[in-house]
Amino acid sequence: MKETMRLGRIAGVRVGLHWSVLFIVVLVVLSLARGRFPHSHPGEPTWVYWALGVITAVVFLVSLLAHEMAHAVAARRNGVAVDGVTLWMLGGVARLRGEAKDPGTEFRVAGVGPLTSALAAVFFAGVAAWMEVLSAPGLAVECVGWLAMINLVLAVFNALPAAPLDGGRVLRAYLWHRWGDPVRAARGAAATGQFLGWFMLLTGFASVLMTGALGGLWAALVGWFLIAVATTEARAAELRGVLGDMAVRQVMTPDPVTVVDTATVAGFLGTMPFQRHRHTAFPVVTVDGAVVGLVSVRRINRTPLPDRSDTVLRNVMRPLAEVSTARPDDLVVDLMPRLRTAPERRALVLDGGRLVGIVAMSDVDRALSWLDAGKRTRH
């Protein structure tokens, strides 16, 4: 899930928001300000309901962020690199650079999420009880009580043994430990995720048709999401079985052709790079050789013709911070999800900050074709 707005870093982990998070904020605010709050505590000014609805929605997002940050921190402590955390419509996602190296690591990284939500539920429940003792306003107690309830629901739902939920990761760790095969374990966890997704999708639509309650649409949406992601994970498991331990260095283009960031767009095009190299994207470096970004045909085409003589590549390239990167020893199967979502569908391969290669989705497809041909030959 690609972030739309960056919020900064927490504990060294980049945090961002996807535009769809606005949907969940609006949904929570509307359900509280126009439903739960007026129903349980009538007679208050309308602006109070709306203000508390917004505050509660924001605190809910913070609890979601705490859930995902727990995953990220646990992953880093267990040697798994983290690209960042993004909040979006259906919750959040911690983008891990690689996979767990053993079942124990998988269990710890997955299990800490529901545990964090459960602890948040206990915390908010304790605060609500303390506010009751102090005779705090009932509406304020209602807000905190709702936060305790929603975090408990979040903990229980995420603990369900179905991928891509945290419980599915725990199930995968168990199956991995039992069978000794991470690929087979991933297939099993993905199958449970697909089953749960179809169950939620069908029961959600049935609820809408039989009762007219629109709440079933939410269950159907979550079910559709589970089916899609679980299917993707099943395919990734198959690819993991094919690619095995193939490293990025085995599929990348080594020592790629680079361009200097001070060159003008017109000067760059004047060299006709496509006639010699047939590439559509080039790493951009400084005069000292430090890589600073990636320039592509698509970005160059955004530059108006009259301005190309005066516009340098530094001003049209995609900065390095926005470009997917990998290390030579990273596994190809771990890089593939980032390649599919990368704007240029490419990743720069860096070794200690030094550019050593570039890899595109087409390179991976070519490797898969050769591996498939070799497999057929052996059979």
What pLDDT digit, counting tens, does each position of 99-114 carry?
788 999 999 999 999 9
In this prediction, residues 351-375 reach a mean pLDDT of: 82
Write down the mean pLDDT value for the chain: 87
Residue 363 pLDDT greater than 70, yes or no: yes
Report pLDDT for 293.
94
Last residue of a domain, one of 213, 243, 273: 243
Q: Is residue 145 part of a domain?
A: yes
Spatial separation of the C-alpha atoms in residues 282 and 291, rounded to whole Å: 11
**Residue 331 β-bridge partners:** 247
Residues 12 and 47 grouped into a single domain: yes
Q: Is residue 330 part of a domain?
A: yes
Kindly state the percentage of the chain with pLDDT values over 70. 94
Domain with 208, as residue range(s), is 182-243
Residues 148 and 229 grouped into a single domain: no
Last residue of a domain, one of 159, 192, 224: 159
Residues 268 and 361 grouped into a single domain: yes
pLDDT-derived band of residue 375, with 50, 70 and 90 as boundaries?
low
DSSP 308: T
Residues 310 and 334 grouped into a single domain: yes
Residues 259 and 357 grouped into a single domain: yes
Last residue of a domain, one of 200, 215, 243: 243
The answer to whether residues 107 and 173 touch, using CB atoms and an 8 Å cutoff, is: yes
Residues 85 and 186 grouped into a single domain: no
The structure's pTM equals 0.76
pLDDT-derived band of residue 321, with 50, 70 and 90 as boundaries?
confident
Q: Is residue 306 part of a domain?
A: yes
Q: Is residue 168 part of a domain?
A: no
Catalytic residue ranges:
68
**Strand 318-319 relative to strand 13-17, pairing:** unpaired
In this prediction, residues 312-327 reach a mean pLDDT of: 91
Residues 187 and 153 grouped into a single domain: no
Residues 191 and 307 grouped into a single domain: no
Residues 239 and 305 grouped into a single domain: no
Report pLDDT for 373.
64
Spatial separation of the C-alpha atoms in residues 176 and 155, rounded to whole Å: 23
Token pair of 348, please?
Answer: 């720069």
Q: Is residue 76 part of a domain?
A: yes
Closest residue by Cα to residue 266 from 297, 299, 312: 312
Residues 199 and 152 grouped into a single domain: no
pLDDT-derived band of residue 79, with 50, 70 and 90 as boundaries?
confident
Q: Is residue 38 part of a domain?
A: yes
Place of tokens 């089916």: 227
Token pair of 375, please?
Answer: 């497999």
Tell me how many domains the chain contains.
3
Q: Is residue 176 part of a domain?
A: no
* Planar angle of CA 359, 366, 316, nearest 5 degrees: 30
Residue 273 pLDDT greater than 80, yes or no: no
Residue 201 pLDDT greater than 90, yes or no: yes
DSSP 379: -
Spatial separation of the C-alpha atoms in residues 85 and 222, rounded to whole Å: 20
Q: Is residue 166 part of a domain?
A: no
Residues 79 and 203 grouped into a single domain: no
Spatial separation of the C-alpha atoms in residues 174 and 125, rounded to whole Å: 32
User: Residue 254 is part of a domain; what is its CATH number?
Assistant: 3.10.580.10
Spatial separation of the C-alpha atoms in residues 121 and 128, rounded to whole Å: 10
pLDDT-derived band of residue 335, with 50, 70 and 90 as boundaries?
confident
Kindly state the percentage of the chain with pLDDT values over 90. 46
Residues 152 and 295 grouped into a single domain: no
pLDDT tens column, 144-176: 999 999 999 999 999 999 988 999 999 999 999
